[in-house]
């Protein structure tokens, strides 16, 4: 097994998948409000992705039963959409993948529902910022662990728990490719970063302990102490200098 280096042609196709993903995220975001069910959000995403002749990457992936992962409050990731209605004060992470013309693209955002406490807002902000701390090292000349260490150090500096049971990943023809991308410092430097590597970098940060457990549905990860958790993810291309974030709008920076 090796890290797949993508050609410019492949990056162009991944850019197309990512463009659909950006639009799907924006559409879902526009429907987030008190009272909406997580299943409704999932269906909005699935319908849109299919309307673009693309396929939701997560649907049936290892048997996953939905198109989106929607994780509320103490749910970390892989929340299965259902009848649960979003409530005032919730934070909700929406994780979506799009498969198009043979390539995957993957991104997650965490949103506030109604009026959210200052400490939850800070958790969301620091999680997003930790991604950009890692991104500073997403360049040739650095090693993978430079990204991991920067993310983890930044989140820990704010007193948060950095999830260790789940990691980011290479992405391309497969949703999960090598290398794994931890969000914490590791004893190994990891591979040297090279132009053409594509990484899904995805900090999962808890307000309390880093420890997680899986619910009886065999999918949903929750924090062990019940504290809230945030998730922020983009699909990133390593280039000769500044990395390209495929899943962020270039104009708006969002």
Residue with tokens 């890290």: 3
Q: 198 or 222, CB closer to Co ion?
A: 198
For residues 198 and 200, which CB has a smaller minimum distance to ligand MF3 in the complex?
A: 200
Q: Residue numbers of the site for ligand MF3 (CB under 6 A)?
A: 58, 61-62, 64, 69, 78, 95, 97, 106, 200
Q: Tokens representing 57?
A: 């990457």
106 makes contact with Co ion (CB under 5 A): yes
Residue 146 binds which of ligand MF3, Co ion, none (CB < 5-8 A, kind-dependent):
none
Beta-carbon contacts of 217 under 8 Å, excluding residues fewer than 6 positions away, are 80
For residue 28, give both structure tokens. 């879902």
Q: Which stretch binds Co ion (CB under 5 A): 56-64, 103-111, 122-130, 187-195?
A: 103-111
Considering the complex, state which of residue 65 and residue 89 has its C-beta at the smaller distance from ligand MF3: 65
Size of the site for Co ion (CB under 5 A): 2
Tell me which of ligand MF3, Co ion, none is bound by residue 62, counting a contact when its beta carbon lies within the kind-specific cut-off of 5 to 8 angstroms. Answer: ligand MF3
Nearer to ligand MF3, 66 or 91 (CB): 66
> For residue 114, what are the CA distances in angstroms to 21, 32, 73, 77, 184?
24, 9, 13, 21, 32
Residue number, 61 or 111, with CB nearest to ligand MF3: 61
- Choosing from 200, 204, 238, 245, the residue that interacts with Co ion (CB under 5 A) is 200
Angle at 78 between CA 103 and CA 185, to 5 degrees: 80
For residue 68, the minimal CB distance to ligand MF3 (Å) is 9
């Amino acid at each position: 097994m090796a890290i797949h280096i993508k050609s410019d042609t492949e990056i162009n196709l991944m850019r197309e998948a990512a463009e659909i993903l950006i639009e799907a995220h924006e559409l879902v975001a526009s429907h987030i409000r008190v009272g909406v069910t997580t299943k409704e959000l999932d269906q909005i995403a699935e319908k849109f992705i299919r309307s673009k002749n693309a396929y939701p990457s997560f649907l049936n992936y290892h048997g996953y039963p939905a198109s989106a992962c929607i994780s509320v409050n103490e749910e970390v990731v892989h929340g299965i959409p259902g009848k649960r209605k979003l409530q005032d004060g919730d934070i909700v992470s929406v994780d979506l993948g799009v498969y198009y013309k043979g390539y995957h693209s993957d991104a997650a955002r965490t949103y506030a529902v109604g009026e959210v406490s200052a400490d939850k807002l800070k958790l969301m902000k620091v999680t997003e910022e930790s991604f950009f701390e890692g991104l500073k090292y997403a360049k040739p000349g650095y090693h993978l662990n430079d990204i991991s260490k920067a993310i983890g150090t930044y989140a820990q500096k704010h007193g948060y728990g950095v999830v260790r049971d789940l990691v980011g990943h290479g992405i391309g023809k497969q949703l999960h490719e090598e290398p794994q991308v931890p969000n914490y410092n590791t004893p190994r430097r990891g591979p040297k970063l090279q132009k053409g590597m594509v990484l899904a970098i995805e900090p999962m940060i808890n307000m309390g302990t880093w420890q997680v457990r899986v619910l009886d549905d065999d999918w949903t990860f929750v924090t062990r102490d019940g504290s809230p958790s945030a998730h922020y993810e983009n699909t990133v291309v390593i280039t000769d200098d500044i990395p390209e974030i495929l899943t962020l709008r270039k104009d708006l920076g969002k």
